[in-house]
Structure 1
Amino acid sequence: MVHKYTLEIATSDFESTKNAVAGGADRIELCANLGEGGTTQSLGVIKKCRESFDVKLYPIIRVRGGDFYYTDEEFDCMMYDALKCKDLNCDGVVIGFLNKDGSIDVKRTSKIVEAVYPLGVTFHRAFDRCIAPFEGLEEVINAGCERILTSGQQLTAPEGVQLIADLNKVADGRIAIMPGSGVRANNVQSLAKQTHCNEFHTSLRELKHSSMDFFL
């Protein structure tokens, strides 16, 4: 019997989303600026993807690259974007907030979870920069998130596989632990075997040749 895993693909625009859906993605994390770890796409792109594809759509809610400690004004912007994603009938959003000391910002995380309910909420790789991962795990669970995207606090999931496995064991089904970063077709089976996770995250980045006839 072949085990069925959930594959989430991070995409950066309409075209890459179209290709990810055609390739069999179970869920889309829609972003801009993947090189920055993902920031919020325009509402126009989110709306067009929602209208065009039936696959589960989770836009990332992040106003900038860099760290995950935000000003009140930045958080207000992200709350607005999250509520707009709810208005557009997205299936969920992807967030991540830390306090200045590297702990999980439970207050802001909970506020977004409550505001977008019944949409699902993923806590993204801000988790990989939290100071105490097992304490953070409990805080993210208590805040109401449905999954954590993590590379095990290493650059890639294969490097952080032991922590991912330990987190998944401690989570014990209370939240999904989703390995991401460096997840490829040639290592997903090994990661699944080592971590016992059922959801995996990868990204689709592509260069599209311009249709322009004229270049200066």
Structure 2
Amino acid sequence: MRNIVKEACVETLDEAILAEKNGADRIELCSRLDLEGLTPDRNIIKDVINSVKIPVKIMIRPREGDFVYHGQELDLMKDEILYCKRINVSGVVFGVLKEDKTVDLKTTRFLSDMATGLEITFHKAIDEVSSIFTEIDRLKSIQAVTSILTSAGAETAVKGSGTLKQMVYRYKDQL
């Protein structure tokens, strides 16, 4: 049987400390969870890293809205990933799509290369694609991406539970 990992998605230092105290196995640190999560402030990242003992993944998402990024946004994402590497976070969470709602493999590879040595989770951008299984199959070509954060294209994981079960069965230990 597979171990269940309890990850707490938090926005503040106090929430991170409380999550660890209450048994979380790891933290995903974001700002603006009401917008599906944005990159948190560097001071909060540093404070959380210095205050908890469990692994911390950082959301890399420069703005709300779609997951199509260009130019300065990608530069900002790269800079945030490199900062996260410097301060020894355990991983980063990001997702990049093309205008046609497919995974932007080229940009995902680029950002993954920047994040070498960190755990990489592909963000809920996968929920915006038109064919989730096709795009996961494509995403698997990037070996550095080891997990996907998804509600299976539904509003919530509970509503997407049927598709999530299919994903678990289909991909087992691949992601």
Residue 155 (structure 2) aligns with: 155
SS state at 1:146 partner: strand
Separation in structure 1 between the aligned mates of residue 110 and residue 7 of structure 2, nearest angstrom: 25
Separation in structure 1 between the aligned mates of residue 139 and residue 7 of structure 2, nearest angstrom: 20
> Which structure is larger by alpha-carbon Rg, 1 or 2?
1
Deviation at 1:3, TM superposition (A): 6.9
Q: How does 1:74-93 map to 2 (within 5 A)?
A: 74-93=73-92
Aligned partners of 1:137 and 1:171 also within 8 Å = no
Deviation at 1:172, TM superposition (A): 2.9
Deviation at 1:43, TM superposition (A): 0.8
Deviation at 1:158, TM superposition (A): 1.3
Residue 22 (structure 1) aligns with: 21
Identity %: 30
Q: Aligned-pair RMSD on alpha carbons?
A: 1.3
Under a length normalisation based on structure 2, what TM-score does the superposition of the two structures give?
0.95
Cα 1:4–1:173 shift into 2, 3 Å: closer
SS state at 1:150 partner: coil
Q: Aligned letter for 1:100?
A: E
Q: Aligned letter for 2:116?
A: Y
Matched, 1:46 2:48: no
Under a length normalisation based on structure 1, what TM-score does the superposition of the two structures give?
0.78
Deviation at 1:139, TM superposition (A): 1.9
Cα 1:139–1:3 shift into 2, 3 Å: closer
Aligned partners of 1:137 and 1:167 also within 8 Å = no
Separation in structure 1 between the aligned mates of residue 53 and residue 99 of structure 2, nearest angstrom: 39
Q: Aligned letter for 1:147?
A: S
Separation in structure 1 between the aligned mates of residue 45 and residue 84 of structure 2, nearest angstrom: 8
Separation in structure 1 between the aligned mates of residue 3 and residue 146 of structure 2, nearest angstrom: 19
Residue 164 (structure 2) aligns with: 164
Aligned partners of 1:14 and 1:49 also within 8 Å = yes
Separation in structure 1 between the aligned mates of residue 31 and residue 94 of structure 2, nearest angstrom: 14
Deviation at 1:166, TM superposition (A): 1.3
Deviation at 1:4, TM superposition (A): 3.9
Residue 99 (structure 1) aligns with: 98
Separation in structure 1 between the aligned mates of residue 47 and residue 60 of structure 2, nearest angstrom: 17
Separation in structure 2 between the aligned mates of residue 53 and residue 129 of structure 1, nearest angstrom: 33
Residue 64 (structure 2) aligns with: 65
Does 1 or 2 have the higher relative contact order (CA < 8 Å, sep 6+)?
1
Separation in structure 2 between the aligned mates of residue 172 and residue 21 of structure 1, nearest angstrom: 27
Residue 120 (structure 2) aligns with: 121
Aligned partners of 1:150 and 1:157 also within 8 Å = yes
Structure 2 residue runs of 5 or longer lacking an equivalent are: none
Structure 1 residue runs of 5 or longer lacking an equivalent are: 176-216
Aligned partners of 1:121 and 1:146 also within 8 Å = yes
Cα 1:109–1:3 shift into 2, 3 Å: closer
What CA deviation, in whole Å up to 9, does each residue of 1:120-167 have, x standing for no partner? 000111110011111111122212311011111111111111111112
What CA deviation, in whole Å up to 9, does each residue of 1:57-90 have, x standing for no partner? 0010000111101122101100100110010100
Separation in structure 2 between the aligned mates of residue 121 and residue 168 of structure 1, nearest angstrom: 18
Separation in structure 2 between the aligned mates of residue 47 and residue 10 of structure 1, nearest angstrom: 16
Residue 130 (structure 2) aligns with: 131
